[in-house]
Amino acid sequence: MLQFLLRRALLAVLVCLTVLVVAFVLTRLSGDLAISIAGPQATAEDIATIRQNYGLDRPLVVQFFDWAAHAAQGDLGRSYLYHAPVAGLIADRLPITLTLGLSGLAIALLVAIPLGILAAMYEATFVDRAIGIVALIGQAMPSFWIGLVLIIVLGLKLQWLPISGVDTWEGYIMPAVVLAFSAIPALMRLTRAGMIDALASDYIRTARAKGLRPGRIVLKHALRNAAMPVVSVAAVQLGFMLGGSIVIEAVFALHGVGYLAWESISKNDFPVVQAVVLFLAVVYIGLTLLADMMNAVLDPRLRTA
Amino acid sequence: MKPVLEVANLRVSFASGTRAVRGISLAVQRGETHCLVGESGCGKSVSSLAIMNLLARGATRSADILRFHDTDLLKLTERQMAQLRGDKLAMIFQEPMTSLNPAYTIGSQMAEALTRHRRISRAKALDRAAELLERVGITAPGMRLAQYPHQLSGGLRQRVMIAMALMCDPELLIADEPTTALDVTVQAQILRLLQTLQRELGLALLLITHDLGIVARMAQRVSVMYAGEVVESASAEALFARPTHPYTRGLLECIPIPGASRRDAPLGSIPGVVPRIGPDFKGCGFRDRCAHAAPICAEMAPLQHAAPNHDYLCRLPPDWPEAAAA
Ligand SMILES: Nc1ncnc2c1ncn2[C@@H]1O[C@H](COP(=O)(O)OP(=O)(O)OP(=O)(O)O)[C@@H](O)[C@H]1O
Ligand code: SF4
Ligand SMILES: [Mg+2]
């Protein structure tokens, strides 16, 4: 187990480095940073000064290691746009993104797992097919469109929920539901497939031979064995939700990390872009590690192997 | 005496059209061992699963009689059947490697067999589990209870399955090749344990086995299955002394000294294979491999009595070849 974790950690560092190099190079490819910092009215001299002040005249490799060394010490640099430390900018926006992502995942799991179980228990019946069709429709609808429909119906027509901002917790409901929508079909299919396998297994027959009640057979004996792929994919989905909720945050005017990323990319605020990429890489790696550990809790074979 | 289990004309077919069990009848008395023998694929496991109502999806069963004591198992709801299963009616499966849940400890899986049916604490149930593990010859049962299935060898898992089936002191035990993964001494210990339970508690045992040595040692009655039918049914004594169906005779020729234990004696070293029995099959299932097949055998094989309580399914008279085989 320890060796397994060490191997994973080493891999994680490598992935982080790769992602960073790519992000670093891409921001540099998108144009002369000094020009975009200086703005449209700047003279050639201004630009030259900026280039020198920000160290942009140095070779790329030097710039990269300079930045990486600072990042390793927790200093992610300053935003050109906000004139504030990047770490603070991300930290300010993290609560919104975290709340949104976690509630989105919670809703997705609460819908997908029961539906997946039902579809598996009633495999190849009307119930199974109906659930499958609902999932298919859900998958076919782009999330910004669902978001707009919800805003129009629940926000503007019925006025049940606020249409933007998160001044109250109700503001999270619609964006979280929209986020959940995109995760539900995959989670549901995985639950269904895992449960179908589990329910057809010999150990479920043993559980039935013991006379156990259906609830215990399904929830204790089958679900535990079907849960592992679901956990792995849920972790990846949460990663998407934390980093990839740019569209949702834009539609619902939520100023989370996704919105910050979108803003900084469009304005070429490269310290922020780099920092957000680093943050997301760390989040992804952390989540997969967490999923591996949860799976080790679920499956004793992973613990002692 | 009324049998503990009575089965008449039990049939099982699969969605594919395979008729795996074609009207078998048998009865198991209190304290008795009834052995079900026959080569691979003849329908032994499917028959026992049908009795327990544990058939896979897509299988249909029907029967004229399927009775446990006075209870008509055909009329029970799944809920009522679940109350009997694991309590008065227990089963040991043929697949010890996959029949335990990989995610839970041996102790947890054994204890729940008891706590489901009795008002008893988990701690007491674990004590009972440890005691039974010891009786099936597992040393350090306390340690084993805390282990997971993947930490146990096939032989240990098979013994855990046996012990688990005995948790509630069943009245009927269906054991599907329960000792295949065990060495001879452990096997002997298990068989002794089962015989003790039969003496002390009147356990009725439906024992499926390939091993004619075990049959000779354990059985009071034997049913020989072939291609989904019981082709001969008799007391163990009569079967070994006067096997009548050509298939049974073929089987017994595989062991040189009847009753002597020759483990792994392959049943059916008779040339040929079992036919696939589809919906339109008729006649004797054994005719492709039978040295005495006649045109009539493609039409039907009558049920005949060789003696009281000794039945067989064949056109030949009981005293062939002397009389009529020619
Ligand atoms: N789930 C299933 N679906 C379709 N056919 C099946 C299924 N289970 C068993 N069968 C078929 O039913 C027949 C009887 O199988 P069964 O498992 O009862 O044999 P068996 O006598 O127990 O053999 P063995 O000695 O190998 O255990 C076989 O032809 C098998 O292919
Ligand atoms: S009925 Fe015919 S084919 Fe079948 S066992 Fe008897 S003699 Fe052989
Ligand atoms: Mg079998």
What are A127-180's pLDDT values in tens digits?
Answer: 999 999 988 888 888 877 888 888 888 888 888 888 777 777 778 888 888 889
Q: Does B54 sit in the ligand 1 pocket, CB within 6 Å?
A: no
Centre a 10 Å sphere on the Cβ of residue A122 and count the other Cβ atoms it contains: 14
What single-letter DSSP state applies at residue B85? B
**Separation of CA A224 from chain center:** 24
Q: Which of A144-153, A234-243, B76-85 has the lowest mean pLDDT?
A: A144-153
Burial class (CB in 10 A: 0-12, 13-18, 19+), A168: exposed
3-class secondary structure, B7 = strand
**Could you say which residues from 274 to 303 on chain A have a Cβ atom under 8 Å away from some Cβ of chain B?**
298-301
CB A259 within 8 A of CB A166: no
Statement: the pTM of the whole predicted model exceeds 0.90: no
State mean pLDDT over A224-247.
87
Tens of pLDDT, residues B153-167: 999 999 999 999 999
Tokens of B105: 């400890």
State mean pLDDT over A74-80.
83
The reported pLDDT for the residue numbered B115 is: 97
Contacts of B6 (CB under 8 A, 6+ apart): B27, B65, B66, B67
Asked whether residue B140 carries a pLDDT value surpassing 90, the answer given is: yes
**Could you say which residues from 189 to 208 on chain A have a Cβ atom under 8 Å away from some Cβ of chain B?**
200-203, 205-208
Question: Chain B: which residues have CB within 8 Å of chain A?
Answer: 52, 54, 56-57, 82-87, 90-91, 93, 95, 98-104, 109, 112-113, 116-117, 148, 150-151, 161, 164-165
The reported pLDDT for the residue numbered B271 is: 67
- As a whole number, the mean pLDDT across chain A is 86
Asked whether residue B262 carries a pLDDT value surpassing 60, the answer given is: no
**Residue to probe by mutation, ligand 1, list B11, B13, B18, B281, most atoms within 8 Å of CB:** B18
CB B150 within 8 A of CB A300: yes
**Tokens 């070849």, residue located:** B321
For B290, what's the count of Cα atoms within 13 Å in the CB-facing half-sphere?
25
**Identity of the residue in A210, A225, A301 whose CB atom sits nearest the CB atom of B85:** A210
Q: How far is the CA of B42 from the centre of ligand 1 (A)?
A: 7
User: What is the percentage of chain B residues whose pLDDT exceeds 70?
Assistant: 92
The reported pLDDT for the residue numbered A130 is: 94
What share of residues in chain B are helix, strand, coil (percent, to 5)?
35, 20, 45
Cβ-Cβ contacts under 8 Å, A211 against chain B: 82-87, 116-117
State mean pLDDT over A61-77.
82
